[in-house]
Structure 1
Amino acid sequence: MADGEAGSTGSLIERSPSRAAIQRYLERSVLENRMTIAVVFPAVGAVTLVASAEGWLPEPLAFNPLLILFGTLVMRSPLLVGIAPRVGTRALVLLSAVTCYTWAIELIGVRTDWPYGAFEYGVRLGPMLFESIPLALPLFFVPLALNAYLLSLLVLGERASSSAVRIPLAIGAVVAVDLVLDPAAVAVGFWHFEDGGFYYDVPVSNYLGWVLSATVAVVLVDLAFDRRRLIERVDECPFVLDDLVSFVVLWGLINTLYMNVIPALIAVGFGLALHSTGRYEIPIDDPRAGASRWFDRR
């Protein structure tokens, strides 16, 4: 399908004035609270998770699933609001497919030990599906794949026009995300692998499984969007990758606190990659000025 065919790639928001008004309100809210969303929330989250794991918080607060889900949703908001204007019918269908895949492969993994290796959850991350996996699992995984894909497009620039270049890089970026995530999640007890592993108690099988899941997610995301219009949106929207900033702060800080040196360095690498895009040269703690400039341009 050619880029720009409105029948499947046109934004659902663009077709509705009321949705467009809501979109503008959400954009302004994110812009005016960027520092809180992208830095304060994940920093507090990191301290809270470590305090929960170490038994420093009372029972109602330790690993409170509502707080975990709320914090995650807040940190995801820049990405969700940022790409919303580019979500058409085709994107909605294919992102729904990624969501269903996320549930299915995790359920298979918990019950068969394939493809990630034998593991089990140590913390209830909200309501559980079939008493086995978190119902909110797509909220945790799908944005990670989207962030990795968008970052890859920005880093590649014109080379992103080649699927033979952008897709492998995006897959590698998703796996690199898990090189940061899993050691920290294991450290705080979100889940654990029965036989441990050489990489901060995470086995090789887990990363082979992530190669599979990253490939499925990246290919579907790549098919979901009109890439030209998506890149235009990413270029113009200053906050769309702030969720990745949150990721670097949250999981990078947890890895640092537990002395997981390699994952912490990889998190720093993501931070440097973000900086290389030139999007964070204006201080993130000057959101109101950024908001005014952006809305004046629009």
Structure 2
Amino acid sequence: MAAEPAARDRIEARLDRLVRENRFTIAVVFPVVGAITLLASAESLLPGPLNFNPYLVLFGTLVMRLPLIAGVAPLLDRRATAALLALTAYSYGIEYVGVTTGWPYGAFEYGVDLGPMLLGAVPVGLPVFFFPLVLNSYLLCLLLLGDRAGRWAIRLPVVIATVLLVDLVLDPGAVALGFWAYDAGGVYYGVPWSNYLGWILSATVAVGLFDLAFDWQALVDRVNDCAFMLDDLVSFVILWGAINAAFGNWIPVALAGLLFAGLIRIDRFDFAVLRTLPVGREHR
């Protein structure tokens, strides 16, 4: 039995080292290349099979998720695993209902396969796309709130609001690229307000399950000790800020700027450090 924890520790240490030694590539180069590739795909400028290639999309997303995966890995226990499995079932279920009935987000359909599709309707990689939006928001809010994060009546509403802010950046860019489209359109860059009412529901469920899954103080300790844990949010700001700017979606660009300001405030958006970080050392 002792060998299993030791093996897990070695794997986690290797993953930490992999991310730490490639921070700039993962957090900056990948989203920049991703934005260029997605914008080129939207204009059909790449060779046919490479335009919105679902496996490239999924691979690039997984690489950008590595800092968050490495950061959370040591905190995964049975309770956290059970909560994440419940959230996985919920995310597949609500997305399938949304695609087939139009509730609760509004009638929409995918225009691009984001990796293999479950039942021909829902991306198999949905948790990879959805979970980090919530967990990044959770971590950012924990650091910004400080001692106030200890009060669930403050912590949960603030995180839910931040998840909605993240989607106010994501959805307009995704619609502009043609990832998905709402049948009736919408006043907010083609996105209906019903989508955000649906996101209130999903964000509440997801944030509640994350709150059950993890001890918030343990998350604070880990993110304070792991300089790269929020690099996935850095990637998000770069990728979707650039895409929205390319389409002239200036409100989402401004909202991405708010996330940028939050990362600056907690000292997690320092490109100079990412470029020059010596092997084996972390910026704190």
Equivalent residue letter for 1:187: A
1:51 to 25, 30, 40: 40
Report Cα offsets for 1:197-251 as digits up to 9, x if no partner.
0000000000000010000000100110122212100110000000000000101
Equivalent residue letter for 1:170: V
Q: Is 1:205–2:166 an aligned residue pair?
A: no
1:193 to 182, 188, 200: 182
Check whether the contact 1:128–1:135 (CA below 8 A) recurs between aligned residues. Answer: yes
Runs (4+) off by over 3 Å: 279-282
Report Cα offsets for 1:51-74 as digits up to 9, x if no partner.
101111121110001100100000
Partner in structure 1 of residue 112 of structure 2: 123
2:268 to 273, 279, 282: 279
Partner in structure 2 of residue 215 of structure 1: 204
Partner in structure 1 of residue 57 of structure 2: 68
Report Cα offsets for 1:139-163 as digits up to 9, x if no partner.
1001110000111101001000000
Partner in structure 1 of residue 128 of structure 2: 139
**Within-5 A mapping of 1:18-37:** 18-37=7-26
Q: How many residues align?
A: 283
Deviation at 1:288, TM superposition (A): 3.5
**Within-5 A mapping of 1:1-298:** 16-281=5-270, 283-286=272-275, 288-289=277-278, 291-294=279-282
Equivalent residue letter for 1:114: W
Partner in structure 2 of residue 5 of structure 1: none
SS at match of 1:17: helix
Check whether the contact 1:32–1:287 (CA below 8 A) recurs between aligned residues. Answer: no
When residues 14 and 174 of structure 1 are mapped into structure 2, their CA distance, relative to the original with a 3 A threshold, is farther
Q: TM-score, normalised by structure 2?
A: 0.96
Check whether the contact 1:125–1:136 (CA below 8 A) recurs between aligned residues. Answer: yes
Quote the Cα distance in structure 2 between the aligned partners of 1:117 and 1:293: 47
SS at match of 1:192: strand
Q: TM-score, normalised by structure 1?
A: 0.92
Structure 1: gaps of 5 or more residues: 1-12
